[in-house]
Amino acid sequence: MAALRYAGLDDTDSEDELPPGWEQRTTKDGWVYYANHTEEKTQWEHPKTGKRKRIAGDLPYGWEQETDENGQMFFVDHINKRTTYLDPRLAFTVDDNPTKPTTRQRYDSSTTAMEILQGRDFSGKVVVVTGANSGIGFETAKTFALHGAHVILACRNMTRANEAVSRILGEWHKAKVEAMTLDLALLHSVQHFAQAFKAKNVSLHVLVCNAAVFALPWSLTKDGLETTFQVNHLGHFYLVQLLQDVLCRSAPARVVVVSSESHRFTDINDSSGKLDFSRLSPSKNDYWAMLAYNRSKLCNILFSSELHRRLSPRGVTSNAVHPGNMMYSSLHRGWWVYTLLFTLARPFTKSMANPCAECLHR
């Protein structure tokens, strides 16, 4: 099966291996047929198994289908810069009469983002990812872009954001990706971003609230609020409120809030059970970096839950996601002690593509 190997799709199913002189082909509408070059005839059934098959899913990211001067289809792999007359989806065919699917879990902790979106086409979809110049945000933005979405990297540092855009375009030059300024520590910047986005007159199908800070020393933003609380929660809360009308108009749409299991280890109520606003944006004397982070993540959970309750009837879903035991990022850069601890833990944590998969699966 030299053609399969050329396309990067080695044949692993001996039962489906064709006899000498036979070739597997596909129609434009996704059906598989078989050509017998010895007898110069074609048929729908596999010559050995007698099964009929069809293509499962869309072309992998980076591939395009074109037609040569003789009217024959061929396929272009833009990422690896090669062409083939063999449909790359032949590795993912299914029987015409498939059996009942098993109840085995489809994804697990080792699943990558690219595997989650395998065969999915996001052409025409608009995605905004905050904090997308590195880490989970970058992997999420890249994966959406490589599957056809128009992706906007909403970042504070435009130099790094533009570098991230170049990296994505380096993987696929036809990716539709751009960077826009968004500083969650400035409510005015959030407002300006929303206005600039609306001026584009495009839809918004997915908003990933990913940007966050961790282990920062106490400081106040220019808006007079504790930085961790504003960046991790309030900035995103305000952003969603400003873009709510666009999300509803684009339904079905979704909001994904990247939270953390850390939300379990705190509370935001006083001794009487009432919300204590002073805990959300504490004074310097009452500040502890880890506790501030935990509280901001608890706010993420509560916000996402209430947002879903209010907007799901209008076609906008909201999910909060814990990316898992994942320390393999620069989130800990605020203090050298955390950097040391995370470096020691690095061999036991996920790669960026794994927690990113959680964001896409939700």
The DSSP-derived string for 92-128 is: GEEESSPPPPP-S-S--TT--HHHHTTT---TT-EEE
Give the per-residue pLDDT at 285.
Answer: 94
Report the chain (362 residues): mean pLDDT per 10 consecutive residues.
Answer: 42 65 78 82 83 77 80 80 81 58 54 73 95 94 94 98 96 94 98 98 98 94 97 98 98 94 68 79 92 93 96 96 64 50 51 54 56
The helix, strand and coil proportions of the chain, stated in percent and rounded to the nearest 5, come to 40, 20, 40
Rounded Cα distance between 316 and 255, Å, is: 7
Can you tell me whether residue 260 is helix, strand or coil? coil
Give the per-residue pLDDT at 207.
Answer: 98
Rounded Cα distance between 4 and 79, Å, is: 17
The catalytically annotated residue of 6, 85, 107, 293 is 293
Residues 193 and 180: beta-carbon distance below 8 Å: yes
Phi-psi region of 93 (alpha: psi -120 to 50; beta: other; left: phi over 0): beta
Element (H, E) at 133: none
Go through the domains of the chain in sequence order and give each one's CATH number.
Answer: 22-91 (2.20.70.10), 114-269+276-345 (3.40.50.720)
* Tokens linked to 183: 């500083």
- 6 in catalytic set: no
Give the per-residue pLDDT at 47.
Answer: 85
Closest by CA position to 133, among listed 210, 206, 205, 34: 210
Give the per-residue pLDDT at 122.
Answer: 92
Rounded Cα distance between 290 and 294, Å, is: 6
Can you tell me whether residue 296 is helix, strand or coil? helix
Rounded Cα distance between 74 and 82, Å, is: 11
Give the per-residue pLDDT at 2.
Answer: 43
Give the per-residue pLDDT at 330.
Answer: 52
Rounded Cα distance between 153 and 159, Å, is: 12
